[in-house]
């Protein structure tokens, strides 16, 4: 079976990519699949990449073959400055080949690789290379994580349009977290009016996992 590449992106930073990535590791593992995790770029790193390590630790528990991998293979590019990769990298060149090298190693012990992006769909990695370019170059299917706070509708629509314009296969889900007590009144009515189906991750996580597999 060809290993499935699933890229978790979002409308912005601090929306829930790491949370969803961790949940997907467990959901797919519960389905009997061997799951690996890769975070190509993490910024705001002090002693070690917090997000990358968190999900990698979970993935190792579910897939013991990952014990042979180092954290630097899982998060090949680590930068101190909490900024977009383009800014945080300074003079460092982010090479696609280095990311692919880690990905292909992980695929040897995996049915699925969860790839977590940095920031949102249009985050610059280099001057003219963005998250959507990385998704396309990796040949991955995408999961767009959208927030539920006031003002998020515009961000969500822009990210959906961006993925559609780049002809990337994706599904999207709402991470019911910020403003969750007012979401049903303030934002949900538009989503229900505009979309045939609205997926709220917390209401049916298993459904998201099944929809992702149907992308392949």
**Rounded to whole angstroms, how far apart are CA atoms 120 and 131?**
7
**Rounded to whole angstroms, how far apart are CA atoms 89 and 108?**
29
- Asked if 4 is an active-site residue, the reply is no
**Is the distance from CB of 193 to CB of 34 less than 8 angstroms?**
no
Supply 123's token pair: 């985050």
CA 146 to chain centre: 11
Closest CA to 9 of 127, 138, 107, 100: 138
**Rounded to whole angstroms, how far apart are CA atoms 35 and 23?**
11
Q: How many residues does the chain have?
A: 216
Contacts of 86 (CB under 8 A, 6+ apart): 123, 124, 125, 126, 127
**Rounded to whole angstroms, how far apart are CA atoms 208 and 176?**
14
Q: Which residue out of 17, 23, 39, 60 is catalytically annotated? A: 39
* Torsion angles phi and psi, residue 118, rounded to 5: -110, 120
Active site residues: 39
């Amino acid at each position: 079976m060809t290993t499935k590449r699933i890229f978790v992106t979002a409308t912005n930073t601090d929306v829930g990519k790491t949370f969803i990535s961790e949940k997907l590791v467990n959901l797919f593992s519960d389905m009997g699949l061997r799951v690996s995790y890769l975070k190509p770029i993490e910024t705001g790193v002090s002693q070690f990449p917090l997000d990358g390590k968190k999900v990698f630790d979970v993935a190792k528990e579910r897939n013991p073959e990952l014990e042979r991998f180092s954290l630097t293979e899982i998060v090949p590019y680590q930068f101190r400055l909490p900024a977009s990769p383009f800014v945080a990298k300074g003079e460092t060149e982010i090479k696609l080949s280095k990311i692919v090298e880690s990905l292909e190693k992980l695929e040897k012990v995996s049915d699925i690789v969860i790839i977590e992006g940095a920031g949102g769909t249009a985050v610059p990695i280099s001057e003219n290379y963005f998250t959507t370019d990385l998704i396309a170059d990796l040949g991955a299917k995408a999961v767009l994580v959208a927030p539920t706070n006031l003002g998020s509708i515009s961000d969500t629509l822009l990210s959906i349009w961006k993925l559609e314009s780049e002809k990337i296969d994706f599904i999207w889900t709402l991470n019911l977290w910020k403003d969750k007590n007012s979401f049903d009144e303030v934002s949900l009515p538009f989503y229900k009016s505009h979309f045939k189906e609205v997926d709220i991750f917390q209401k049916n996580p298993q459904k998201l996992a099944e929809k992702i597999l149907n992308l392949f």
